[in-house]
Amino acid sequence: MIRINLLPTRDAPRRQAAVIQVVVFIVLLVVTAITLITVDSILRSEIAVQVRSNALIQTRIDGINRQIRDHDQIRTRIEEIEQKQSVIDELQAGRTGPVFVMVELAKVMSRNGTPTIDHDHYMDLVRRSPGQAFDPTWDGRRLWLGSFTEENREVELNGSAMSHEDVAEFLRRLSLSDFFYEVILIETRAEASQPAAEWAAPLVTFQVRCRLRYSGRPDSGQEAGTSAGTPATTGA
């Protein structure tokens, strides 16, 4: 006897599900491949840009290296030129410096003369220490020099004055001047009057030592307008 199964079979839904899974897998595979290709293309493009940038930077570096290839020689040459210029300036200062110093000394000792000093610096100095201000009414004829000796810009001054106050004013003006520094009073001595001038007050002789700046410009670390040194000895 032949039996016929009329109930629906379950193989068709299974085959349909399998087909769907395959299709989804293929779609995902395609999407992944496209994504990988896109990312790879972007990375390759960025790498190419970076390579070109590196090549440009390297070209500039090579150009700079060519420019500074002789840097050490050029620097040595510049140092030699600066040394020669320094010697020339020193020789020039040695020729003209004494003239400027004599002019400055005449200004310091003249009746209406004033020492060479920056005005703003002088005003600040006077505000901080009023005792360092020079007397504009001082008559330089009350003091005169007997000798001026210089060696290696070290100077010794010997002279006479009408009073100790005149010597103090002279020292104050020297100390303020930009041409003189390290001004030190070595000695003052009151000399007895000559018999023919017994009416006159005794003269005061003095000895001063200082250093010179031919340029009239304070060097680094040396402040213009420093006080005069303390006398080493004072004679009655």
pLDDT digits (tens, 9 = 90+) for 19-78: 788 888 888 888 888 888 888 888 888 888 898 888 889 888 888 877 777 777 777 778
pLDDT tens figures, 115-125: 988 888 889 98
Reported pTM: 0.54
Of the two residues 84 and 59, the one the predictor is more confident about is 59
Question: For the chain, what are the domain ranges?
Answer: 15-61, 98-235
Q: What is the pLDDT of residues 169-225, one digit of tens each?
A: 999 999 999 999 999 999 998 876 555 455 456 789 999 999 988 877 665 444 444
Q: Over range 142-166, report the average pLDDT.
A: 91
Rg of the chain's alpha carbons, rounded to an integer?
47
90: confidence class by pLDDT, cuts 50, 70, 90: low
Which has more confidence, 2 or 50?
A: 50
Question: In sequence order, which residues have a C-beta less than 8 Å from that of residue 91 and are 6 or more positions away?
Answer: none
- Is the pLDDT score of 141 beyond 90? no
Q: Which two tokens stand for residue 175?
A: 């100390």
CA distances in angstroms from 197 to 160, 184, 194, listed in the order given: 16, 31, 5
Q: pLDDT at position 232, please?
A: 43
DSSP 200: S
**Residue 94: what residue type?**
G
210, 230 Cβ separation under 8 angstroms:
no
User: What is the C-alpha to C-alpha distance for residues 132 and 179, in angstroms, rounded to an integer?
Assistant: 17
Check residue 136 and report its DSSP letter: T
Instruction: Provide the pLDDT for residue 226.
Output: 46
pLDDT at 61: 86
Per-residue confidence band for 10, with pLDDT thresholds at 50, 70 and 90: low
What's the rounded Cα separation, in Å, for the pair 62 and 56? 10
Q: Which of residues 194 and 96 earns the better pLDDT score? A: 96
How much is the mean pLDDT over the chain? Answer: 79
Amino acid letter for position 52: R
Ranked by mean pLDDT, the top range of 96-105, 155-164, 224-233 is 155-164
pLDDT mean over 83-100: 68
Res 230 pLDDT > 70: no
- The pLDDT score that the predictor gives to residue 5 is 55
Identity at 54, one-letter amino acid code: N
Reported in sequence order, the residue ranges of 43-193 that DSSP labels E, i.e. its strands, are: 143-151, 154-161, 180-190
- Phi, psi for residue 161 in degrees, rounded to 5: -145, 165
